[in-house]
Amino acid sequence: MPLQPKPTIKPATGKLGILMPGMGAVATTFIAGVYAVRQGLGKPIGSLCEMGTIRLGARTDNNVPTIREYVPLAELDDIVFGGWDLFNENCYEAAIEAGVLEKELLNNLKEPLSAIKPMKAVFDQSYVKRLRGEHVKTGTSKMDLAEQLMEDMKTFQKENGCDRLVVVWCASTEVYRELTDVHSTLAKFEEGLRTSDDEIPPSQIYAYAACKLGIPFNNGAPNLSVDVPAILELARETKTPISGKDFKTGQTLMKTILAPGFKSRLLGISGWFSTNILGNRDGEVLDDPGSFKSKEVSKLSVLDTILQPEKYPDLYKDLYHKVRINYYPPRGDNKEGWDNIDIFGWLGYEMQIKVDFLCRDSILAAPLVLDLALFSDFAKRAGMYGIQEWLSFYYKSPMTPGGLYPEHDLFIQLAKLKNTLRYTIGDELITHLGAEYYE
Ligand SMILES: NC(=O)c1ccc[n+]([C@@H]2O[C@H](COP(=O)([O-])OP(=O)(O)OC[C@H]3O[C@@H](n4cnc5c(N)ncnc54)[C@H](O)[C@@H]3O)[C@@H](O)[C@H]2O)c1
């Protein structure tokens, strides 16, 4: 039985422009990856949109289409890339500098990558202390800068013949800031833009510009950007899908895989010490205490929500959780994330688990950029707007409406994502009850 009448979902025809503030390691690995896949030089591993399937109906129905067959998503061949950066390097140069993908692969893609040049950034060094750049817009106020960004978006869309645009924030992590009065309503925020209020960081100027034009905005970094009441108000007004925060890759991905497992078996945890060494520009930016604080808040929240210490005091009340990030240049983008987990079982007997994840940050993040872009474009065409909680699957610190705790368990997040797709199409949700097999 359909849960709702089949909605009208606009088809994914025409070109989709994916715009990224920040054209560093993640963005260039994503863009080069899509070109590589288009040319048959690699596979889009890690992307649910490209490789995932979805079960429909009973297990006995054997009806498991790919997600791409099930919902209308933009084709990889129909994507056009653009963005902003404070470094005026084209995408080929930036990818070489990032050092994630092999030079041989990048040389095969040199022509399309060199043609992608960043637009001038909206940047304020007080929000990212370790960076300094020349390729930056100037304006009479923050509202003026927002208007310049809107002009960029419109011009990009026109020049590239795009049917639709989406934005994915792939820029550096800004310093930690709490919400203030200027963020509380759209009217106050717009006034703050006009008076260039100090509490409005560049990421919120991009978020405002995109949402004002109804362009979906996804935030891959832990700074607030769209996770602000004023922007949420705007997103509702302009019917814009928004999602965030902080791509769930590396160590936090492991945490949200492991912790629900321990909790399911009611194993206690007394300590979880996580440390990272990484040597890319992201690591350098996070070496600044202000930017690290944004990341730390995002990383720490995960365990508390999964483990619910208030409901399981015997198991998790005294959990000591520590996260460290160390900038260590020799490793480049190839991060090493160590976890020491002190657990206990029957009668409180202690055990230890050590995880040493030798990961590649941008390789893990690139498919997330693709999925967020394609799914948020789908959301827009399906008439969904405001916080897209079904995209929590991709984030360390998922956005929720005020007062509602986020769901961090990766498998609940995946079930939620797939059920949202079924719901949007008007198919029955899968509850895993399975009573029908025994009737
Ligand atoms: N790679 C991962 O696994 C991962 C996971 C979670 C979050 N992130 C976040 O994704 C973001 C990108 O990571 P990365 O490794 O590509 O970093 P990067 O340093 O290689 O690239 C970031 C780029 O953003 C640019 N930038 C900074 N402020 C800007 C602004 N206001 N406007 C336009 N450009 C701006 C920088 O010049 C830089 O080129 C970071 O915030 C990082 O914390 C990455």
Confidence at residue 3, expressed as pLDDT on a 0 to 100 scale: 43
Confidence at residue 1, expressed as pLDDT on a 0 to 100 scale: 36
Rounded to the nearest whole angstrom, what is the distance from the C-alpha of residue 69 to the centroid of ligand 1? 32
Confidence at residue 424, expressed as pLDDT on a 0 to 100 scale: 95
- Residues 424, 367, 30, 335, CA torsion sign: positive
pLDDT in tens, 8-50: 899 999 999 999 999 999 999 999 999 999 999 999 999 999 9
Confidence at residue 293, expressed as pLDDT on a 0 to 100 scale: 84
Instruction: Report how far residue 369's alpha carbon sits from residue 250's, in angstroms, rounded to the nearest whole number.
Output: 15
76: CB partners within 8 A, 6+ apart: 34, 37, 38, 44, 50
Rounded to the nearest whole angstrom, what is the distance from the C-alpha of residue 398 to the centroid of ligand 1? 18
pLDDT in tens, 92-131: 999 999 999 999 999 999 999 999 999 999 999 999 988 8
Backbone angles phi and psi of 391, in degrees to 5: -90, 10
- The residues lining ligand 1, judged by C-beta closer than 6 Å to any ligand atom, are 21-26, 84-87, 98, 121-123, 128, 131, 170-173, 202, 220-221, 246-247, 249-250, 280-282, 285, 361-362, 364-365
Best residue among 120, 282, 285 to mutate for probing ligand 1, ranked by most atoms within 8 Å of CB: 282
CATH classification number, 15-247+362-425, choose in 3.40.50.300, 3.40.1710.10, 1.10.1740.10, 3.40.50.720: 3.40.50.720
- Residues 391, 432, 68, 379, CA torsion sign: negative
Confidence at residue 7, expressed as pLDDT on a 0 to 100 scale: 65
Instruction: Report how far residue 39's alpha carbon sits from residue 288's, in angstroms, rounded to the nearest whole number.
Output: 39
Instruction: Report how far residue 165's alpha carbon sits from residue 156's, in angstroms, rounded to the nearest whole number.
Output: 9
Please identify every stretch of the chain with a pLDDT value under 70, giving residue numbers as ranges: 1-7
Q: What is the CATH number of domain 251-358?
A: 3.30.360.10
200: left (phi over 0), alpha (psi -120 to 50) or beta: beta
Instruction: Report how far residue 234's alpha carbon sits from residue 221's, in angstroms, rounded to the nearest whole number.
Output: 20
CB atoms within 10 A of CB 406: 16
| CA angle, residues 135, 176, 248, in degrees to nearest 5 | 85
Confidence at residue 318, expressed as pLDDT on a 0 to 100 scale: 94
Rounded to the nearest whole angstrom, what is the distance from the C-alpha of residue 22 to the centroid of ligand 1? 6
Confidence at residue 164, expressed as pLDDT on a 0 to 100 scale: 98
Confidence at residue 87, expressed as pLDDT on a 0 to 100 scale: 96
Domain residue limits, the chain: 15-247+362-425, 251-358
